[in-house]
Amino acid sequence: MHVYATPKLGVATSRKSHNFIGIKNHKASMSKSKIFWDNASKNYDKTEERFEYIHHKSRENTKKHLENSHVVLDYGCGTGTTSCEIADRVKEIHGIDISTKMIEISRGKAAAKNIENITFTEGDIFDEKLKRESFDRILAFNMLHTVTNPQNVVQRIGELLKPDGLFISVTPCLRDKMSFLVGAQIRLVQVLCRIGIIPVPIRRLKSSDLDDLIANGNFHSVDTEKIYKDASSYFVVAKKKSKT
């Protein structure tokens, strides 16, 4: 299964169609974001361990929607934990991430586990090499609160999914319930974002914001769960609305 378009055929999607503020600004913010995530990669698994319940629940929920014929895109695959865990349930997984270091760790994990149906590639979801309608499932785990324009991302996911494909996301909802300790950490992160030490947007969303994002992206939800353990995350499985 080829999920990357050949340069000759290209893909009808241009950067312009995604409403980028400007290629120069976009490139600058992408490169800051890449440096940030490269730096975060070394300790990423350790810092995420405290949210293990939420990760575990999201993966178990996801498995219910996978079949062994599926070609899956794991957008913002991070250190590849989710891709490696679900690999034996599907035909192929393609993990993409802007961080070179995250991709290196992902590849190491897959190699250590002898998983052969995964490819990890450095890149963004707007990469024109990705072929339209080539994925059965697209995962965006812990992504939509931290990308520059989540609505454009959802629209792009719609382009890359096969007509009956499913978009599966889990997103921290920083405006919903959280423990005192997590709340204090989030307030600190907000300050660091404001003064530019954290150069990525960290949006404070409610689950209803995600419902709106999904609906405005021409999807309808087929499965949702609010997951809570010290922090709130919203798990959503959504199907593309058919063209009428």
Ligand X SMILES: C[S@@+](CC[C@H](N)C(=O)[O-])C[C@H]1O[C@@H](n2cnc3c(N)ncnc32)[C@H](O)[C@@H]1O
Residues at the interface with ligand X (CB under 6 A): 33, 37, 48, 76-78, 82, 96-99, 102, 124-125, 141-143, 146-147
| CA–CA separation, 53 and 147 (whole Å) | 24
Q: Which of 111, 132, 128 has its CA nearest to residue 120?
A: 111
- 122 or 223: CB nearest ligand X: 122
Q: What Å distances lie between residue 77 and 19, 106, 184, 226, CA to CA?
A: 24, 8, 27, 22
Cβ atoms within 10 Å of 93's Cβ, excluding its own: 28
- 85 or 92: CB nearest ligand X: 85
- 146 or 207: CB nearest ligand X: 146
Residue nearest to ligand X (CB): 78
| CA–CA separation, 10 and 7 (whole Å) | 5
State in angstroms the smallest separation of the CB of 220 from ligand X.
Answer: 23
State in angstroms the smallest separation of the CB of 98 from ligand X.
Answer: 4
- 48 or 211: CB nearest ligand X: 48
Q: Decide if 189 contacts 40 (C-beta within 8 A).
A: no
State in angstroms the smallest separation of the CB of 68 from ligand X.
Answer: 22
State in angstroms the smallest separation of the CB of 120 from ligand X.
Answer: 11
